[in-house]
Amino acid sequence: MITTLPGLYLVTVGILRPLTLLLGADVVCSVTGFRLINILFQSGTFYVLKAIYGMIHSKPTAEKGIAKVALMTAVTLTFFPLLHFFTFLYYTDPGSTFFVLLMYLFHLQGNKTLAAFMGGMSILFRQTNVVWVVFVAGLMAADIVQEWMNNHPHVKKKDKNQQDSLTDIQTIQSCFKLVVADFKYAPQNLVKLIGLICVQCIHYIIIIGLFGVFVYLNEGIVVGDRSQHEACLNFPQVFYFVSFTVLFLSPYIIRPSRIVDFILFSVKNIAITVGFLAVSYALVNKYTHVHLYLISDNRHYTFYVWSKIYERFSFMRYALILPYYYGIFSLLQSIRYKNIFWKLVFIICLCVSTIPQKLLEFRYFILPYLIYRLNVKYVSWREIALEMMIYMAINVFTIYMFIAKPFQWGENVELQRFMW
């Protein structure tokens, strides 16, 4: 029934085995001993979060201020409810998150070898983490393409300094024109560009290639029981992620000024609005999948979200399309300073990591949420304080429900507990 690779167990043996020589197996090899492994991972994740935020947002003119914000952001995200909850259980999430974020940090530092190695380690915790190896490879490729555009001979000298000020659409148009020009008149330049991307991303390509070999030999990505882990096209998963992120980041996302901007944008771009609503309706109507676990396992909060909202009110899945639209608009606004290539790589990886999943499982959103959150700019201490309050309130509720409200399934004598 275990469907992930044994990364967590290998690390556990590596850490606890030497301790058994000192303290004895009875003391070390206990439930508490195993759960302490994830507390170690979460402690490491705190430092990684702080370092990533500092690198993404650091400015020489405001280094001291950014250091404080990075520290408080890391403290806050350490209490992110899903990650915090599973820190105290023997699950793969803390280790998986730690190695993916460490890979991201090494990528930002320019250490491709260690980044790729950490990406490989993350896959041993959860196979779908290969998507985030592709993510950092995509960011590397995006940087190379941006540099190629800035130094392209067809870009006039006076326009070179304006490349960074182009809108997202203008950047895509510029890139397309340069590719077409090179394809017609200097195809060797495109060959060089592709070659440079391959060389610079070779460390990640090796990891992705080895994973491809595993999938081929294993005849699929899943190990163990495959019957409940079949891929499908579940496009509404992206909408569920948007709702999830808007909820946890509401101090940044739900703002009066942002709502006004959304209304003005929707009216001004009525064709985009109508197109989004129509496409979203079609996707929700045709591609909403309901996993057996979602409607049968009442230990998980997703069971109640689905049964109390989506299943009870048949119109709700369509009524929420407009809030989804606002959520997407607002989430993009919060990272509008990122270039279009970063956004595209993130969106593609988000879709690949969520859409094939038939099961609505909030744990699948941990990594894209944290990566997105780390790239949201600091607004004020008020937002960080409100974010922490939301996290802590949810943590108090979920941990209380887990500890104080156990229940039984029929004649089954084993206690069941509420959990994410």
Please name the residue that has the structure tokens 């109507």.
285
| Cβ pair 249, 161 in contact under 8 A | no
| Cβ pair 151, 196 in contact under 8 A | no
Grouping H, G, I as helix, E, B as strand and the rest as coil, residue 300 is strand
> 398-412 pLDDT, tens per residue?
999 999 999 998 888
Q: What is the DSSP string of 228-273?
A: T------THHHHHHHHHHHHHTHHHH--HHHHHHHHHHHHHTHHHH
Q: Which amino acid is at 85?
A: F
The 8-class DSSP code of residue 310 comes to: I
Please give the structure tokens belonging to residue 407: 């229940």
Q: Which amino acid is at 133?
A: V
Q: How far apart are CA 173 and CA 187, in angstroms?
A: 19
| Cβ pair 234, 357 in contact under 8 A | yes
DSSP H/E element including 347: helix 340-354
Q: How far apart are CA 96 and CA 366, in angstroms?
A: 10
Give the CA count within 13 Å in the CB-facing half-sphere of 26: 0
Q: How far apart are CA 411 and CA 417, in angstroms?
A: 16
Mean local confidence (pLDDT), 142-156: 86
If 0-12 CB within 10 Å is exposed, 13-18 middle and 19+ buried, where does residue 75 land? middle
Query: What is the value of pTM for the model shown?
Result: 0.94
| Cβ pair 130, 208 in contact under 8 A | yes
Grouping H, G, I as helix, E, B as strand and the rest as coil, residue 124 is helix
If 0-12 CB within 10 Å is exposed, 13-18 middle and 19+ buried, where does residue 253 land? buried
> 314-364 pLDDT, tens per residue?
899 999 999 999 999 999 999 999 999 999 999 999 999 999 999 999 999
Give the CA count within 13 Å in the CB-facing half-sphere of 23: 11
Q: Which amino acid is at 220?
A: G
Task: Name the percent of the chain in helix, strand, coil, to the closest 5.
Answer: 75, 0, 25
> 190-247 pLDDT, tens per residue?
999 999 999 999 999 999 999 999 999 998 898 888 877 888 999 999 999 999 999 9
Q: Return the pLDDT at 335.
A: 95
> 254-303 pLDDT, tens per residue?
999 999 999 999 999 999 999 999 999 999 999 999 999 899 999 999 99
DSSP H/E element including 407: strand 407-408
